[in-house]
Amino acid sequence: MNIVFFGSDAFAVPALKGLIASPHKVLCVVTQPDRKKGRGLHLEGTAVKQAALEAGLKLYHPDKVNSIETIGFLKGIAADLFVVIAYGQILSESILALPKIFCINVHASLLPELRGAAPINWAIINGDAKSGVTVMKLVAKMDAGPVALKKEIAIEDKDNALSLGEKLARLAQEGLLETLELIEKNNYKLEGQDERLATYAPKLKKEDGAIDWNGSALRINNQIRGLFDWPGAFTYYKGKLLKIYQARVTEPWSELKGKVPGEIITADKSGIVVACQDKWLAIEELQIAGKRRMAAGEFVAGHKIKAGERFSKK
């Protein structure tokens, strides 16, 4: 089949590479325009653009995907299918009507659960035991289209947003290729989603990373894992922002009574242990403002941090 691929984020790259290696033909790759990034604000293309360039594919990166110009361009391609994965713009009904068959989207959750921009992060933050990908027919309503295929995996205790995202990206490739085979053989079924079961995974905000030490140790650890990379879970130590990248829940070895949430229980070369509402949280990797990321034991060696001090919201 002849396909136009819409994608921007690195999550979409394995699926694009799978398509390139398949019998299907990628006629064009549509991605977000180059953006200024980094301290030098240099223009940088998307991860999908880089993969497309390496494969010698035709590229198109409109500022507004639903513009009359873009509609005209895509109409001229006459594709059988549009495939959309982590693209970053919502396609209008005019765009959805262009391919000969329809548009399909691969979403990183088991729909109708976790519709929206950040399903991988919120699955971990919420403490879900499983995640997966859903391949669906794209409709105007966000992540609400009828489902062609689902693939499920367990969320492991040590998974963070980055590691789970990499697993789901590979699963998305598998799910996409399986779905394309079903469509090509006209052997697919589309099942509507149960709207009563719909939940949402809104776009992340920096303030989502603020740690409330009055919560349970498990909830805080899920927050750290789910917000890994960006925006990062953070607290404050002596007025400086402190990002926490890795931690683990541990049973208290002394009475909780008298311990204040956020209080440092121990701080030595093995790490930093902090009191939460119900248990201890052993911090293993962190980064204070203006310094590099490091192991907690290394941080302790370079700072006069000691038991009885507290991490705070500000």
Phi and psi at 164, nearest 5°, equal: -65, -40
25 is written with which tokens?
Answer: 């033909």
Give the start-end residues of each E strand in the chain. Answer: 2-7, 25-30, 35-37, 42-44, 59-60, 81-85, 102-107, 130-137, 147-154, 233-237, 240-250, 264-268, 271-275, 280-288, 294-295
Per-residue confidence at 42, pLDDT binned at 50, 70, 90? confident
User: What residues does CATH 3.10.25.10 cover in the chain?
Assistant: 206-302
310 is written with which tokens?
Answer: 């507290």
Q: Confirm if 89 and 95 have CB atoms less than 8 A apart.
A: no
203 is written with which tokens?
Answer: 């776009």
Looking at the chain, the whole-number percentage of residues with pLDDT higher than 70 is: 99
Per-residue confidence at 258, pLDDT binned at 50, 70, 90? confident
Per-residue confidence at 39, pLDDT binned at 50, 70, 90? low
Q: How far apart are CA 93 and CA 113, in angstroms?
A: 24
User: What residues does CATH 3.40.50.170 cover in the chain?
Assistant: 2-197
Phi and psi at 185, nearest 5°, equal: -90, 5
Bridge-partner residues for 244, per DSSP?
233, 286
Bridge-partner residues for 268, per DSSP?
271
CATH architecture of 2-197: 3-Layer(aba) Sandwich (3.40)
Mean predicted confidence (pLDDT) in 252-256:
79
Other CB atoms within a 10 A radius of the CB of residue 3 amount to: 23
Res 124 pLDDT > 80:
yes
List C-alpha distances in Å: 83 to 94, 144, 192.
15, 16, 19
pLDDT digits over 295-306, tens only? 999 999 999 899
- Residue 92, classified by CB atoms within 10 Å of its CB into exposed (0-12), middle (13-18) or buried (19+), is middle
Question: To the nearest whole number, what is the mean pLDDT of the chain?
Answer: 96
pLDDT digits over 170-212, tens only? 999 999 999 999 999 999 999 999 999 999 999 999 999 999 9
Class of domain 206-302: alpha beta
Q: How far apart are CA 93 and CA 34, in angstroms?
A: 25
Res 276 pLDDT > 90:
yes
pLDDT digits over 51-92, tens only? 999 999 999 999 999 999 999 999 999 999 999 999 999 999
Res 253 pLDDT > 80:
no
pTM of the prediction?
Answer: 0.95
190 is written with which tokens?
Answer: 């589309």
Q: How far apart are CA 131 and CA 125, in angstroms?
A: 12
- 306: CB partners within 8 A, 6+ apart: 264, 267
- Give the pairing type, strands 130-137 and 102-107: antiparallel
Q: How far apart are CA 98 and CA 71, in angstroms?
A: 8
Per-residue confidence at 293, pLDDT binned at 50, 70, 90? very high
**Is the peptide bond prior to 99 cis by the omega test (within 30 degrees of 0)?**
no
Per-residue confidence at 314, pLDDT binned at 50, 70, 90? confident
Res 136 pLDDT > 90:
yes
169-206 CB burial, b ≥16 within 10 A, e <16: bebbbebbbebbeebeeeebeeeebeeeebeebeebee
pLDDT digits over 146-181, tens only? 999 999 999 999 999 999 999 999 999 999 999 999
Res 40 pLDDT > 80:
no
pLDDT digits over 89-109, tens only? 999 999 999 999 999 999 999
